[in-house]
Amino acid sequence: MRIVDARVIVTCPGRNFVTLKVVTDEGVTGVGDATLNGRELAVASYLRDHVVPLLIGRAGLPVYQLLGGRSREGVTVYGHANGETVDEVLTEVARFVDLGYRAVRVQCGVPGLPRTYGVSADKMFYEPADAALPTETTWSTEAYLAHVPGVFARVREEFGPTLRLLHDVHHRLTPIEAARLGKSLEPYALTWMEDPVPADLQEGFRLIRSHTTTPIAVGEVFSSIWDAAQLIREQLIDYVRTTVVHAGGITHLRRIFDLAALHHVRSGSHGATDLSPVCMAAALHLDIAIPNFGLQEYMRHTEQTDEVFPHGYHYDGGYLHPAETPGLGVDIDEQAAARYPYAPAYLPVNRLTDGTVHPW
Ligand code: KDG
Ligand code: MG
């Protein structure tokens, strides 16, 4: 589909209006309002003489072009390195580094706790919703806080100062505990400490912020700009992890990122496996376009998922690149989808060592 004509229509049905009508070779047309009160003819001339000649022959664009075009060559992504022991973690980080990743999330088993968030036998393809009925994990803040700084010390020792390192606390601490963790991680210069506390109490972040310079990322479960507004306006976070599917689609997410840009907050969209390739494709178009992109999470989907959702985005040397085809550049193969019927799968529940239910 290509634009074959673009007409500027100036009319005065009771007041002046300037309208741009775009016509394509497939008969699809679109209109846009370009009225500037009292300066209508200046805009009409600008459009007719300077803009329309640039439009003829174009259309069928990838979404990022409709968002203003690319701001960067590729979208820097981070992967999930995890292991039961520190040695296993080091092996996994090396795997991501070998694949060209410039940023790696690090999650490690905690001695004394049988299962810990973010650690899986499946390593790169791990899926947190791992059973038809919820499995149970155990939590001890004391054991966790005692172990994590040592893990990052080893990772820094092995991989040097420039690899970007991230860690997900998964909403498990109180603000003062998170402040302590942030302080203890300062020597290892993390790119972010994620979800240190449940974010419902936005003002609670003031306490964390006043104690540590470890950057904070939050927002993978936010559903609107109001979930992030105070955190952004008071500069209580550094990365906002809202994503297309949860936070109102591309248009609303753009609004959140624009507010963030005004307050030195960068994007860091959630990209776990429960967000399909459709969401990932949409995120990539936003990521490549916005000025304040930070990082994109990239938990690789399985081959089966990729088969059901054929897509044009691709990974290359630490970057994801959105498709250059029109729209999002992702489809659903309905026949393949029908071969994979619904199968119940729950996220785990989490308990303290005395049995108290605790955020997962
Ligand atoms: O469905 C739960 C996952 O999306 C979540 O555990 C992943 O916290 C997560 C992350 O940062 O990827
Ligand atoms: Mg997370």
Provide, rounded to the nearest whole percent, the portion of the chain with pLDDT above 90.
84
Mutate to test the pocket of ligand 1, among 77, 117, 170, 296 (most ligand atoms within 8 A of CB): 170
Asked if residue 177 has its Cβ within 6 Å of ligand 1, the reply is: no
pLDDT tens for each residue of 49-78: 999 999 999 998 999 999 999 999 999 999
- Choice among 64, 117, 126, 298 that is catalytic: 117
Decide if 253 contacts 262 (C-beta within 8 A): no
Q: Which ligand 1 atom minimizes the distance to the CA of 194?
A: 11
What's the whole-model pTM score? 0.90
pLDDT, residue 121, reads: 80
pLDDT, residue 221, reads: 94
Round to whole Å and give the CA distance between 45 and 31: 17
Decide if 19 contacts 34 (C-beta within 8 A): yes
CA of 99 from ligand 2 middle (Å) equals: 22
Quote the mean pLDDT of the chain. 94
Q: DSSP secondary-structure letter at 46?
A: I
pLDDT, residue 123, reads: 79
pLDDT tens for each residue of 103-143: 999 999 999 999 889 998 877 777 788 889 999 999 999 99
Query: Facing residues of 76 across strands?
Result: 319
Closest residue (by CA) to atom 12 of ligand 1? 272
When pLDDT is cut at 50, 70 and 90, the band that residue 182 belongs to is very high
Which residues 6+ apart lie within 8 Å of 354 measured at CB? none
Which residues 6+ apart lie within 8 Å of 32 measured at CB? 19, 20, 22
Average pLDDT over residues 35-48: 94
pLDDT, residue 86, reads: 97
Decide if 112 contacts 75 (C-beta within 8 A): no
Alpha carbon dihedral 299, 310, 285, 35, in 10-degree steps, equals -150
Looking at the predicted structure, is the pLDDT value of residue 169 above 90?
Answer: yes
Asked if residue 220 has its Cβ within 6 Å of ligand 1, the reply is: yes
